[in-house]
A = this chain, B = another copy of it.
Amino acid sequence: MAKEITPRAEDYSKWYNDIVKKAGLAESSAVRGCMVIKPLGFGIWENMKSVLDGMFKETGHVNAYFPLFIPKSFLSKEADHVEGFAKECAVVTHHRLMNNPDGPGVVVDPTAKLEEELIVRPTSETIIWNTYKDWISSYRDLPLLINQWANVVRWEMRTRPFLRTAEFLWQEGHTAHATQAEAIEEARMIHDLYAKFAEEYMAMPVIQGAKTESERFAGAIDTFTIEALMQDGKALQAGTSHFLGQNFAKAFDVKFATTENKEEYVWATSWGVSTRLVGGLIMTHSDDEGLVIPPKLAPTQVVIIPIPKPDPEIMEHADRIAAELKSYGVRVKIDKDDKKRPGFKFAQYEMEGVPVRIGIGKRDLANNIVEVARRDTKTKESIALDKVGEHVRDLMDIIQNNLLARAKAFRTEHTTTVDTYEEFKEVLAGKGGFIIAHWDGTAETEAKIKEETKASIRCISNDAVEEEGKCVYSGKPSSRRVVFAKAY
A19 at interface by CB-CB < 8 Å: no
Find A69's partner among B62, B66, B94, B167 (CB 8 Å cutoff). Answer: B167
Q: Which 6 A-B pairs have the closest CB atoms?
A: A34-B67, A86-B97, A37-B65, A39-B62, A91-B94, A95-B155
Number of copies: 2
Q: List 19 A-B contacts (CB under 8 A).
A: A27-B134, A29-B131, A30-B127, A31-B70, A36-B65, A36-B67, A37-B64, A39-B62, A39-B63, A46-B63, A68-B151, A69-B90, A76-B105, A86-B96, A86-B98, A93-B108, A96-B155, A108-B117, A150-B151
Given the known interface contacts A39-B62, A39-B64, the answer about A106 and B31 at a Cβ–Cβ threshold of 8 Å is: no
Quick check: is A197 within 8 A (CB to CB) of the other chain? no
Q: Is A89 an interface residue (CB 8 A)?
A: yes
Interchain CB contact (< 8 A) of A65 among B31, B105, B169: B169
Q: Out of B88, B106, B169, which one reaches A95, CB within 8 Å?
A: B88
Contact partners of A89 in chain B: CB under 8 A = 95-97
Give the residue among A67, A73, A82, A155 with the most B Cβ atoms within 10 A. Answer: A67
CB distance from A99 to the nearest CB of B (A): 8
Chain B residues closer than 8 Å to A150, beta-carbon distance: 151
If the complex has contacts A29-B131, A73-B105, are A65 and B92 also in contact, measured as CB distance less than 8 A?
Answer: no
Q: With an 8 A cutoff between CB atoms, is A119 at the interface?
A: yes
14 extra interface residue pairs, beta carbon distance < 8 Å, beyond A31-B127, A82-B97: A31-B67, A31-B118, A36-B131, A42-B63, A68-B120, A68-B153, A72-B97, A75-B106, A87-B97, A87-B98, A89-B95, A90-B95, A91-B94, A150-B151
Contact of A97 among B36, B38, B75, B134 (CB under 8 A): B75
Q: Which residues of B contact A93 (CB under 8 A)?
A: 91-94, 108
Q: Which B residues lie within 8 Å of A97 (CB)?
A: 72, 75, 82, 86-87, 89, 91, 119
Contacting residues, chain B, for A74 (C-beta < 8 A): 30
Contact with B along A406-432 (1 / 0, CB 8 A): 000000000000000000000000000
Closest B residue by C-beta to A340: B140
- Rounded to whole angstroms, the CA-CA distance of A30 and B134 in the bound complex is 12
> Which of B34, B76, B86, B339 contacts A68, CB < 8 Å?
B34
Report A29 CB to chain B, min CB distance, Å. 5
Task: Flag if B91 contacts A63 (CB, 8 Å).
Answer: no
Interface residues of A (CB under 8 A from B): 27, 29-31, 34-39, 42-43, 46, 62-76, 82, 86-99, 104-106, 108, 117-120, 127, 130-131, 134, 140, 146, 150-151, 153, 155, 167, 169, 339
Q: Which residues of B contact A34 (CB under 8 A)?
A: 67-69
With most chain B CB atoms within 10 A of its CB, the pick from A39, A89, A93, A106 is A106
Chain B residues whose CB sits within 8 angstroms of the CB of A151 once the complex forms: 68, 150-151
Q: In whole angstroms, what is the CA distance A87 to B43 when docked?
A: 35
Contacts of A37 in B (CB 8 A): 64-66
Shortest Cβ distance from residue A276 to the other chain B in the assembled complex, whole angstroms: 14
CA distance A93 to B108 in the complex (A): 9
- Check B31 against A43 for contact (C-beta < 8 Å): no
A63 — which chain B residues lie within 8 A by C-beta? 39, 42-43, 46
Is there an interface contact between B66 and A36, defined as CB atoms closer than 8 Å?
A: yes
Q: Decide: B91 and A87 in contact? CB cutoff 8 A.
A: no
A80 CB, min distance to chain B CBs, angstroms: 13
Cβ contact within 8 Å between B95 and A91: yes
> What distance in Å separates the Cβ of A345 from its nearest Cβ neighbour in chain B?
14
CA distance A95 to B86 in the complex (A): 9
